[in-house]
Amino acid sequence: MTTSPALAARAPLYEEVAERLRERIFARALEPGQWIDEQSLAAELGISRTPMREALKVLAAEGLVTMKPRRGAYVTEVSERDVADVYQMLALLESDAAAAAAARASEAELAELETLHAQLETSTADHARFFALNEAFHVRILAIAGNRWRAQMAAELRQLMKLSRHHSLFRKGRIEASLAEHRALLAALRRRDAAGAAALTRGHFANGLAAASPGPDSAGRRNGRKLALPAVG
């Protein structure tokens, strides 16, 4: 029996279900900490429990879902400590990528980054678009740097951060500061200044974490409180 090309190219059902659930989680249709009613969702999507369970395993591996023994699956909650840890790891990964990009980026790739940044500059009133373009800017630097494992690790961490309320980053002054940091990074990339690009990226993430802080008393109390958090970077 020969499988048609259309069927062969189609993703497994559980992957399609995982993507549907992922979209709901990021859209807050499924909130952090919420129990996931497998039976109800399977019925709504017109599928059996098997692909639903396989989809939840995929999301659990990504950190978006937490499986609790005898209690089922829950949307993962992001704590203040989680936020700090993810920012630290992203700063390490992306500063390393920025240094590599400074050394190897082509003129066309630098122009592409500048175009993305120009679009960011004109999207400050549209928070959803700004968030998407900001992520695209960082992801493109990772791609230019050329290490797929580093890019994959950063992508997984960024996905986890989407559980946070990224729109709360848009507090007074942070967008303008973030754009200025991007401009400085682009200038370092243009100069082929690998050390400078890495240092600017580390500073960019440090400032992002500071903006994520819920208040002046938070620095000394990493006690697991949930954060309403900005877009990474």
Query: What would the pLDDT profile of 146-201 be if each residue is shown by its tens digit?
Result: 999 999 999 989 888 877 654 445 566 888 999 999 999 999 999 999 999 999 99
Do residue 12 and residue 38 come from a single domain?
yes
Do residue 61 and residue 110 come from a single domain?
no
Which pLDDT score is estimated for 193? Answer: 98
Enumerate residues 6+ apart whose C-beta is below 8 A from 119.
133
Do residue 121 and residue 203 come from a single domain?
yes
CB 214 within 8 A of CB 120: no
Do residue 96 and residue 152 come from a single domain?
yes
Question: How many structural domains comprise the chain?
Answer: 2
Q: Which two tokens stand for residue 209?
A: 């974490």
Q: Read off the pTM.
A: 0.75
Do residue 124 and residue 159 come from a single domain?
yes
120 in a structural domain = yes
Name the percent of the chain lying above pLDDT 70. 83
Do residue 68 and residue 96 come from a single domain?
no
226 in a structural domain = no
219 in a structural domain = no
Which pLDDT score is estimated for 145? Answer: 97
